[in-house]
Amino acid sequence: MAHCILTRKMTLFIKQGGKKMKETTIFVKEAVEELSIQKIEKTLMDQDGIERVLIDTDDGEIKIHYNEKHINHEQLIVVLEERGFHLN
C-alpha cells in the first residue's frame, strides 16, 4: 500500500518495505499540474521495483528511488514517455 504526503512544494509517494535503493532525478513538463502529478505517481508506483517518488511541483523535478534489480533509469524514461509525458 502506498502513502501520500503533501506539503506546500513537494508530493512524496512511498511504498512500504524499503530496501537499498538507487535514486534518479527526471524533470517532467507536466509534473506541475495536479492531475498530471497523480497520473505520474500512479504510472511510476505501478512499476515493479519503485520504492519512492518525490515530485517538486514548482519545477517538475521527480526524484525516484528504485531497486535496480527490477528497473533502471532508461526504463523509467521509456515508461513516462510511453504514457505521453514530456521530459525536460
pTM: predicted TM-score of the whole model, two decimal places: 0.78
Q: What are phi and psi of 26, to 5 degrees?
A: -130, 140
> Which pLDDT score is estimated for 1?
41
Domain ranges in the chain?
A: 2-82
- Please identify every stretch of the chain with a pLDDT value under 50, giving residue numbers as ranges: 1-11
CA distance linking residue 32 with residue 37, whole number of Å: 7
Fold annotation for 2-82: Alpha-Beta Plaits (3.30.70)
